[in-house]
Amino acid sequence: MSYLSLSNTSLVAIAISFAVICITIFSLRIVAQIKAKQALKDELAQHDNFAMGISFASEITVVIATMAFLFDEISMSTAQHNPLKVVILIVLLFTFIKAGHLIHRKWILHRFNEEAAILKQNVCAALVDSGMLLANCIIALGMYTWTHAQGFSNLLIAFVSFFTLQGMFALDSKIREYRFAKANQGASLQSNFNLENTSIGIRYAGKSIGLALAVYAGLSSAAFQNGKMVENIFTLVMHCGVMWVLLYCLSFVIKSISLPNIDAALEVDHQDNIGIACIEFAVFCAIGYLLISMFSL
């Protein structure tokens, strides 16, 4: 009786995936060292830059999670018959993730320099940046689940849909900034990121990841129509918009039950209450995952 079901082809696939992961992480380490203008080990070990550690950890997580997702989605026979397609797919996924990350840094939070803040050991900045990086990873993988059966012929639709979703994230962020200003006498949320309020970073990251999970649920439940740009964009907006509303409605109910008679905004914005922020993080992420379980086909 055989107790090990791994075949030779499976071992080869694992070896190739692991090699890609190692090469990508090595490249990320080099880029991080260039940005920090010194060895990464000095920044992490000697300067104890906790923020840099969080940022680098999120990048490693995104690389490994993306490869693990593809390992589950792509069969070994497909990879053997069309290896170029697999390589292009990996490049496209990482391109989408990085593009979304740059949109977040340069457009959505254009008044806040996250990279500079991370180098100054701002943990709040690292949490905000890492949350959006993980969110973009989830969105990119959701786009693949929505369109992968149709091949690369509908790549233009995927690009337009991706930027449409980035617009949704920008709108969500602007609403959060408006609510923060309303609750704090006109104060700017982006300016408060510089104050190193860790709980604000935790809450922002939780809402970003939760929204990404809700979008994934919307993409999983939406039917993709081959070659039809307008119909696909309309379907995407409707499905993801409904999940967006459900995310906030269900999270509000759960928070009301979990935190009765507690002004969560006051605790997070002014008291830097990490415990309350962690509860909000957990609620949004859990509700996002619940939506995936409920509505994914």
What's the mean pLDDT in 220-227?
84
Gap between the Cα atoms of 216 and 295, Å rounded? 10
Environment class of 102 (CB within 10 Å of its CB; exposed 0-12, middle 13-18, buried 19+):
exposed
Token pair, residue 119, equals: 């180098």
**Residue 227 region by backbone torsions, left for phi larger than 0, else alpha for psi between -120 and 50, else beta:** left
- 214: closest CA among 172, 186, 183? 172
Rounded mean pLDDT, 133-150: 86
pLDDT at 169: 94
pLDDT of residue 53: 83
CA–CA separation, 251 and 288 (whole Å): 9
Average pLDDT over residues 202-211: 94
Average pLDDT, the chain: 83
| Alpha-carbon 245 to chain mean position | 19
Residue 228 three-state SS: coil
Specify the amino acid at residue 69.
Answer: F
pTM metric for this prediction: 0.86
What pLDDT does residue 4 have?
46
Q: Bigger pLDDT: 89 or 1?
A: 89
Rounded Cα gap, residues 100 and 257, in angstroms: 34
Q: In this model, does residue 1 exceed pLDDT 50?
A: no
- Please tell me the predicted confidence (pLDDT) of residue 6: 47
Residue 171 vs residue 28, higher pLDDT: 171
Q: What is the pLDDT of residues 250-282, one digit of tens each?
A: 999 998 888 887 888 788 888 888 999 999 999
Mean pLDDT of all residues in 111-117: 85
- Which of the residue ranges 67-76, 124-133, 221-230 would you say has the lowest mean pLDDT? 67-76
Q: Where are the domains of the chain?
A: 84-295
Phi, psi values for residue 128, rounded to 5° = -60, -45
User: Residue 61: is its pLDDT beyond 60?
Assistant: yes
